[in-house]
């Protein structure tokens, strides 16, 4: 029998750490592994003796013992009016795992039978919008990657002053280059205190995008709004940058209508492209 009491307990569990690791692989927690090994080495023992051997508090040992008993790994007997606990043979662990495999197989079978009905339900709900949030600089970069890969022409309203003050110029240039590489076309409404004519001319000449200008009194905004395909993109630059993507054809279509109205309202004397 392995000695589990006194100072020898610490040494014993250091020596049997590989057994604890194996039991954890089988699905037991570290405390459950300690208690099971302690009971296995002691034979019939009280909860206090098992707790001492496992090097855990007695109150904790009672809860762990109860759980192991439900798993079928410990059994209890009465002796002189007091409960004693004994570990089931190690092959009980294999039986426990077999039962779990059988239970999991049964659950998988139930789900396979229910899958067509669940998929039909998903189809009925397909028009519900889906929304994704992005926070901080890294989040906005992930949003940009998604935007670059999404199909369809884009329409966007850009708060120029907020954009240039918050975004890293190098990252923004790479974003535009990737958009061009992916042959993405679009229209941009620039909102700024003063028309950034050279910037607008560059967007059209270098990237082929159509650009118009709106004064801030016609579009008082600090957030960047865009629609691309069936998706709506929004970025707020105040404080920590926050982005959102909404997937919904109906909402995207409605925003395109609003964008067209704003596009027609923009002064054509400060425009590049159509």
pLDDT digits 0-9 by tens, 104-140: 899 998 888 888 777 777 666 556 778 888 888 888 8
Torsion, Cα of 41, 44, 46, 48 (10° steps):
-10
CA separation for the pair 17, 237 (Å, rounded): 53
CA atoms of 221 and 157, how far apart (whole Å): 9
The 10s digit of each residue's pLDDT in 158-197 is 888 887 777 667 777 787 788 877 778 889 999 988 888 9
Q: How many CB atoms lie within 10 A of CB 75?
A: 15
What pTM was estimated for this model as a whole?
0.52
Determine the straight-line distance between the first and last CA of the chain, rounded to whole angstroms.
89
Q: What CATH topology corresponds to 8-88?
A: Arc Repressor Mutant, subunit A (1.10.10)
Name the CATH code of domain 130-272 (choices 3.90.420.10, 3.40.50.280, 3.30.70.1170, 3.30.870.10).
Answer: 3.30.870.10
Encode burial over 238-255: b for 16+ CB neighbours within 10 A, e otherwise.
Answer: eeebbbbbbbbeeebeeb
Q: How do beta strands 186-191 and 210-214 pair?
A: parallel
Q: Where are the domains of the chain?
A: 8-88, 130-272
């Amino acid at each position: 029998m392995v000695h589990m009491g006194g100072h020898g307990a610490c040494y014993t569990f250091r020596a049997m750490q590989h057994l604890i690791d194996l039991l954890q692989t089988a699905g037991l927690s570290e405390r459950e592994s300690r208690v099971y090994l302690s009971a296995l080495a002691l034979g019939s023992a009280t909860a206090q003796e098992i707790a001492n051997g496992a090097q855990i508090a007695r109150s904790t040992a009672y809860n762990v013992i109860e759980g192991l008993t439900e798993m079928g790994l410990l059994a209890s007997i009465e002796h002189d009016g007091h409960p004693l606990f004994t570990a089931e043979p190690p092959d009980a662990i294999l039986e426990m795992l077999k039962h779990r495999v059988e239970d999991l197989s049964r659950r998988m079978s139930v789900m396979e039978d229910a899958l067509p009905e669940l998929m039909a339900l998903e189809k009925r709900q397909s028009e519900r919008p889906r929304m994704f949030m992005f926070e901080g600089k890294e989040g906005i970069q992930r949003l940009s990657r998604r935007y670059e890969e999404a199909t369809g022409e884009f329409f966007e309203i850009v708060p120029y002053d907020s954009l240039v003050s918050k975004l890293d110029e190098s990252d923004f240039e790479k974003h535009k280059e990737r958009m061009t590489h992916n042959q993405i076309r679009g229209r941009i409404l620039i909102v700024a205190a003063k028309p950034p004519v050279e910037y607008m001319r560059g967007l059209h000449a270098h990237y082929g995008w159509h650009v118009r200008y709106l004064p801030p009194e016609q579009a008082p905004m600090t957030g960047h709004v865009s629609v691309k395909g069936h998706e709506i993109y929004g970025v707020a630059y105040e404080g920590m940058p926050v982005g959102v993507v909404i997937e919904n054809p109906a909402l995207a279509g409605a925003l395109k209508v609003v964008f067209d109205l704003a596009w027609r309202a923009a002064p054509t004397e400060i425009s590049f492209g159509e």
